Amino acid sequence: MRKILFGVFLFFLLCTAVSFAQEKPREIFLERAEKISYDSKNEVFTASGNVIIVQGENRIECQDLTFDLKLNRGTFRGGIRVTRKETEIRALTMEGDFDAELYTFSGGVELRKTREKNGETSVILWKAETLSYNGKNEEAWSEGSVVITWKEVLLQANRAHYFPKDETRNEEERVVLEGNVVITEKEREIEVARAVYFLDTEVLEAEGIARAKFIIKEKE
């Protein structure tokens, strides 16, 4: 136990030294791990066993990791759970470039984003085998059997790209879908080649329509 505590203490000292050596502070906080190892020559550390680290806005849980302090990049494996503000991402593996804030997830990926709009709370659930995430603007994209659910809408496609609202560019929050796109909402279903779904207005724009079905309810 004393060896583990000393190792963690040494690890914190090393991380602090790295952060002060850079123009822009880069700090990593290890909250929990059963075992750690640090290569001082190459400035690489590994941790395993119920690992929790915090870096910037990211709180990352995993089974083991390898982190390069010079490059500020890490590889995370086993039961990945990343939480940052209103977003949570789960996967089997994760590659992270923490300077660029670009993260790649693979293996049963699930992104869950809580969305607040006009006092209403809703959840976007995104499932895919791979997912790339930009932490600077929360942009996300996937390829290969993407399924997104939000409210009563089900979106399926080969590729999906989420763009957050950008007032400086006058761009709305939206999801761009491509390849065998199927949108289902209540009794309505549409199959298209490409679609853009605007979340604020809940408006769909589609191209290459293959099939569409709209059920008209009878007036009571």
DSSP-assigned letters across all residues of 112-139: EEEEEETTEEEEEEEEEEEEEEETTTTE
**159 is in which domain, residue-wise?**
110-220
Task: Average the pLDDT over 184-190 and give the result.
Answer: 86
Closest to 146 in 3D by CA, of 163, 136, 161: 161
Does 156 lie in the same domain as 198? yes
Does 220 lie in the same domain as 125? yes
* CATH code at position 187: 2.60.450
Does 79 lie in the same domain as 42? yes
Tell me if 98 is assigned to some domain.
Answer: no
For position 75, what pLDDT does the model report?
Answer: 97
Q: 150: which residues sit within 8 A by CB, 6+ positions away?
A: 115, 122, 123, 124, 125, 199
Q: Does the pTM exceed 0.85?
A: no
Model confidence at 8, in pLDDT bands (50, 70, 90)? very low
Does 67 lie in the same domain as 146? no
Does 208 lie in the same domain as 133? yes
Tell me if 101 is assigned to some domain.
Answer: no
Tell me if 99 is assigned to some domain.
Answer: no
Does 5 lie in the same domain as 79? yes
Tell me if 28 is assigned to some domain.
Answer: yes
Does 78 lie in the same domain as 31? yes
Tell me if 177 is assigned to some domain.
Answer: yes
Does 118 lie in the same domain as 79? no
Tell me if 208 is assigned to some domain.
Answer: yes
Tell me if 172 is assigned to some domain.
Answer: yes
pLDDT over 60 (residue 20): no
Domain count, the chain: 2
Q: SS3 for 169?
A: coil
Task: Average the pLDDT over 92-111 and give the result.
Answer: 96
Does 76 lie in the same domain as 131? no
Model confidence at 11, in pLDDT bands (50, 70, 90)? very low
Alpha carbon distance, N-terminus to C-terminus of the chain: 72
Chain centroid to CA 137: 11
Does 8 lie in the same domain as 47? yes
Does 122 lie in the same domain as 66? no
169 or 47: whose pLDDT is higher?
Answer: 47
Tell me if 148 is assigned to some domain.
Answer: yes
